[in-house]
Amino acid sequence: MIPSWRPDAGQARWLKVALFLLCLAPFVRLGWLAWHHGLGANPIEHITRATGWWTLTFLMITLTVTPARKLLSQPWLLRLRRMLGLFAFFYGSLHFTTYLWLDQFFDVGAIIKDVIKRPFITLGFSAFVLLIPLAATSTNAMVRRLGARRWQWLHQAVFVIGTLGVIHFWWLVKKDITEPLIFAAILSVLLGTRVVYRLRDTRPEARNRSVVRPYPRGRGAPSRGKA
């Protein structure tokens, strides 16, 4: 068993800064490539694909926090989850904006037609729409307003979003399905861990042991993250 480590306030701040810069790296890289004409023959396709890939990757990383926290007995990992989730939203917004602006030139009629006609766009669009309330309710104030239970219930939608994202990817690839298959496998494992935790938590002895503290140390974030 790995000994539980708890960063002090200074270490936690540095950890967050380092993680923020790391999460921003794919965006900086895209900007660098764009500036140096390194996005290939079809820059719009390059940006759409890169931002889509990073959206899905950040969704998976966000979903890994809870099992990692429990398996490694590192409760402080939970403090990084919000930033990771918001980066999923950030890359999702870039992905959608690229489509809206550079691909469709804000032609609302063409976009509506595309969303209705092409199933992979329908799924991507639905996933993005579902991400919006999760990003909007990510603040401590919103957690307090909704209450921990309702907040946790709402944020379980991240599994639906992940599933829609994986199918969206699967449907758009023409030949090699290796990558969507890897994402599907990761998502299945992450969903599987939640089922195991849920079954363990519903045992009477576990229910007696678990004390629900919605706002640890008065910070407003739920203490027993389910997502």
**Chain residues that interact with ligand HEM, rule: CB under 6 A:** 45, 48-49, 52-53, 55-56, 92, 95-96, 99, 121, 124-125, 127-128, 131, 161, 165, 168-169, 172
The residue among 49 and 144 lying less far from ligand HEM, judged by its C-beta, is 49
Determine phi and psi for 44, rounding to 5 degrees. Answer: -65, -45
Q: Which residue is nearest to ligand HEM (CB)?
A: 52
First to last CA, the chain: 24
State the minimum distance, in angstroms, from the CB of residue 131 to ligand HEM.
5
State the minimum distance, in angstroms, from the CB of residue 123 to ligand HEM.
8
CB 48 within 8 A of CB 34: no
State the minimum distance, in angstroms, from the CB of residue 30 to ligand HEM.
13
Name which of 192, 186, 182, 135 is nearest 158 in CA terms: 135
The residue among 72 and 103 lying less far from ligand HEM, judged by its C-beta, is 103
For residue 141, the 8-state DSSP code is: H
State the minimum distance, in angstroms, from the CB of residue 105 to ligand HEM.
14
Can you tell me the distance from the alpha carbon of 196 to that of 133, in angstroms, rounded to the nearest whole number? 27
The residue among 148 and 187 lying less far from ligand HEM, judged by its C-beta, is 187
For residue 72, the 8-state DSSP code is: T
The residue among 171 and 197 lying less far from ligand HEM, judged by its C-beta, is 171
State the minimum distance, in angstroms, from the CB of residue 137 to ligand HEM.
16
Determine phi and psi for 172, rounding to 5 degrees. Answer: -90, -20
State the minimum distance, in angstroms, from the CB of residue 52 to ligand HEM.
3
CB 169 within 8 A of CB 183: yes
Residues 6+ apart with CB under 8 A from 72: 2
For residue 41, the 8-state DSSP code is: S
The residue among 55 and 66 lying less far from ligand HEM, judged by its C-beta, is 55
